[in-house]
Amino acid sequence: MKYSEAARGRVFIIRLEQGEVVHEVLERFASDHSVRCAALLMVGAADRGSAIVCGPRDADARPVEPLRHTLPDVHEMTGVGTLFPDEDGKPMLHVHAAFGREGKASAGCVRSGVVVWQVLEVIMFELICPSARKVRDAETGFELLEP
């Protein structure tokens, strides 16, 4: 285990709207408002055609090849995640979300392109943590948090 300590910063209340791509909009928001690190909560809906990463194709393969799933219709959505800078200092969102429709559910990471249907409410809690960042791991291909 690795860890560091952070302090609370600002809290942002954000509404994403129809057609916006979740990770693109939130990373741009973080950049525009000088948010380096954050924790996020979100609730709303994802549009049909949204894509999620829902596991590795083969758990033993290196680098890891992601398994992707496309939502066939509009789904309710709730998610939690983090935002830390990558090695170049750019904000990198990592959100896992659950998607539901008619009693069926899917879950996965939003980085493949989750598109908002009507509205997505986001609470972004800024964290003051000067050293934390995401570093690419050569073996897995993941961007791993270095606290």
Residue 146 lies in a domain: no
pLDDT at res. 28:
98
- CA pair distance 19, 21, nearest whole angstrom: 6
pLDDT score for 111: 94
* Number of domains into which the chain is organized: 1
> CATH code at 71?
3.30.1330.80
Whole-angstrom Cα distance, residue 96 to residue 41? Answer: 10
Report the mean per-residue pLDDT for the chain: 97
Instruction: Give residue 147's identity as a one-letter amino acid code.
Output: P
| Max intra-chain CA distance, the chain | 44
Residue for token pair 């890891």: 64
* Residue-wise pLDDT tens digits, 36-73: 999 999 999 999 999 999 999 999 999 999 999 999 99
Confidence of residue 105 (pLDDT cuts 50, 70, 90): very high
Q: Please give the average per-residue pLDDT across 71-85, as a whole number.
A: 98
Mean pLDDT score, 92-120: 98
